[in-house]
Amino acid sequence: MKKLMFVLFVSLIGFTSQAQEKKNKNAKVDVEVRGNCEMCKKRIEKAAYAVAGVKSAEWHQDDQTLHLIINEQKTSDLEVQKAVAKVGHDTEKVRATDDAYEKLHTCCSYERK
């Protein structure tokens, strides 16, 4: 009987720890991304889709938000923000380099914080 209780206890711990490590395959994430126009929208979304694990990326100019659906087993919102910053757009956690920002078209030059 003690062995049976021990086996059940160990199994329960194993299932609990496994459930905590599971990452969402369809996580919804919103990220603030600075931009101005339709050219910015295309550039931001293209950069986001270039990251493996991004299922959906839609940037809205009115609220400066990139709405993402990502597979957390393959990527994170930080990886997407790094990719977007590389093409010249500041995000809430990653600032684009001055060089990348200066390469943007004049209509895409947003006010940097």
Q: Write the pLDDT tens digit of every residue in 5-52.
A: 655 566 666 655 555 557 899 999 999 999 999 999 999 999 999 999
Percent of the chain with pLDDT over 90: 79
Alpha-carbon distance of 86 to 51, in angstroms, equals: 12
The alpha-helical segments, DSSP class H, found in the chain are: 2-21, 38-49, 77-86, 98-102
Would you state the CATH architecture of domain 23-108?
A: 2-Layer Sandwich (3.30)
Rounded average pLDDT over 45-63: 98
Q: What is the mean pLDDT of residues 75-82?
A: 97
Q: What is the mean pLDDT of residues 48-71?
A: 98
**Mean pLDDT score across all residues of the chain:** 89
